[in-house]
Structure 1
Amino acid sequence: MQSTTHAITKISRSASRYRGFVITHRPRTATNPISRYEISLGDQSFGLFDAQALATGYIEQLYTQR
């Protein structure tokens, strides 16, 4: 297995791109006191995560399952 690092590229104020996936920051609100990160690829959503590190870790997991 080859060890490489991939960069998180900021594409807007609330969105970043990582390995082709878009990670969107959902800030906390009165009804949701925890900020979240949503992973998507095109129209497909892969869920909400409590930290950006968890989101990128999940993307890495998807790549290893390929």
Structure 2
Amino acid sequence: MGFNAITAVTDGKQALDSLKKEDCPDLVFLDLNMPVLDGFSFLTQAEKEILCMQMNVVILTSSTRQKDKDRA
């Protein structure tokens, strides 16, 4: 039990590239307001490319818009 590795990236494109290179993570902490590729776009692209069949995602945001909260 425990963590094998923790991968940190600074933007959505790096996160997507990381999924292509590494095994699917057990858990993803995802900021909706990432630079380059936002959190929603990251999830859409990861699903479209079927990079991980199942991925547990915790979505974080500083957004106060109800629309973002509902979509998350």
Q: TM-score under structure 1 normalisation?
A: 0.31
By percentage of residues, which structure has more helix?
A: 2
TM, length-normalised to structure 2:
0.29
Considering Cα pairs closer than 8 Å and 6+ residues apart, tell me whether 1 or 2 has the greater RCO: 2
Relative to total residues, which structure has the larger strand share, 1 or 2?
1
